[in-house]
A and B are shown apart, each in its own frame.
Chain A
Amino acid sequence: MLNSLAYTLVITGAPWTSQAPQTALMFATAALSAGHRIDRVFLYGDGVHLASSLSTPPSDETHWPQQWSLFLKQHGIPATACIASALRRGLVNETEQARYELPAENLRAPFEIAGLGEWVEGNQAADRTLYFHGGG
């Protein structure tokens, strides 16, 4: 396909307090169907709430963390939550749970936790890096 691009998406707005995760998901879906690639998704700042396995919206509302998780699995797209943003906001995987002796872990698969180096690498590798902010 002509002009096919590789994208890195950075989401900094949280679900239900901002529109960022759903706008990003709609963009990602449209990009794939137009023949582009999503190489990586990076959650930063309040965006890390998207990776929580404990979010439970009312049953008549769209479950954005679940939708994102399905989308990532379906297309085999790696997604990372920034470790510093995640720890500050109460999002931990098993490793961090053990390290800080916390009562639980709450990272939704297939999201992973890693440092800003993943973002730097994503910037470098992608043709375009797009940011989805919370605003306000």
Chain B
Amino acid sequence: MYQFNFAPVFANFDHLLQGAWVTVQLSFGAMLLGLVVAVLCAAGKTAGPAPLRWLIDAYVELIRNTPFLIQIFFIYFALPVFGLRMTPNVAALVALVVNVGAYATEIIRAGIESIAKGQVEAGFALGLKRHQIFRYIIMKPALRTVYPALTSQFIFLMLTSSVVSAISANDLAAAGNDIQSRTFAAFEVYLVITAMYLLLSLGFSALFSLIQRLAFNYPLSR
């Protein structure tokens, strides 16, 4: 009968917390930068010239149809061939930004396209100023539409980020690999780490839906 041994896990718990902090930082950093990429790409896709649209389409489709592990291998191992050398943590951030940027582009584009043209025209007819139309007629409903999709994309990003341990960035999963290789308590280590990921994703989901209720709980006229 197997004897469970959680002692080495809890002896190294500060190491795990450090890894979890890196995971949270990586996820938030990648989400924020990824949103910048996504807003630019979505704007380019809805209003840009045809060649730019094709380029953005190629980026989005390429990223969405290849595994994240290959993307990070490419960025970490292949880019140095062209003199672009990065530390594991920077490569991890870059890979996550490139990845989430593609998914968020589609979300933001759908949000922009969800605003009916007549709404904007009605705003002009009512004599609203351009910045008022942008704020009240475009941004508020669009933000409300895309918010749930973006928050679940964030959770998905945080879970995906565990893969950066494969290039030895020092995130939560990597802390697990580290402790596992020193203590051989593999199952116990990954059990605790999986529980930590679960707490993180449940916690952030709860936080995001609280924010949603506080910030977007107004009637939408249709």
Asked if A pairs with B, the answer is: no
**Which chain B residues have a beta carbon within 8 Å of chain A's beta carbons?**
none
**Which chain A residues have a beta carbon within 8 Å of chain B's beta carbons?**
none
